[in-house]
Amino acid sequence: MNKVILMGRLTRDPEVRYSTGENAMAIARYTLAVDRRFHREGEAEADFISCVAFDKRAEFAERYLQKGTKIAVSGRLTTGKYTNKEGQTVYTTDVIIEECEFAESKNASERSRQADNSSPASAASGDGFMNIPDGIDEELPFN
């Protein structure tokens, strides 16, 4: 069985092209930044997964997806290789998208994009949580 399920954010807007010929179809390429569950200091905190969508899923990507959008996808893993202009063999790994859906609301996505575009100091305070003022501990429904 070859099944991949990922949730992450697009690192850039999808690159969409259309094939030529009698049965032309859309082909979308994008990269998902998928957070690692555990990471050690000095190691990367995310993996960057190359995704390819065809036909209706590619048109969906072109119409609705953009840099920073959080999505959940499922598909199958494919590998390949080619020789570049310098004569070196390059190995590729892509996820062929079979299903794609939004993983957060449009409002949450916009807030996330705004936090990414702001300075690091303001992004730290805009984490989506409300600050609780001091001295109201007795009014909270938990200890």
The reported pTM is 0.72
CATH fold label, 4-124: OB fold (Dihydrolipoamide Acetyltransferase, E2P) (2.40.50)
Q: Show me where the domains of the chain are located.
A: 4-124
Q: How far apart are CA 32 and CA 74, in angstroms?
A: 12
Q: What is the pLDDT of residues 55-97, one digit of tens each?
A: 999 999 999 999 999 999 999 999 999 999 999 999 999 999 9
**Tokens for 48?**
């960057």
Half-sphere exposure of 24 (CA within 13 A, CB side): 7
Q: What is the pLDDT of residues 88-131, one digit of tens each?
A: 999 999 999 999 999 988 777 677 666 666 544 433 445 555 55
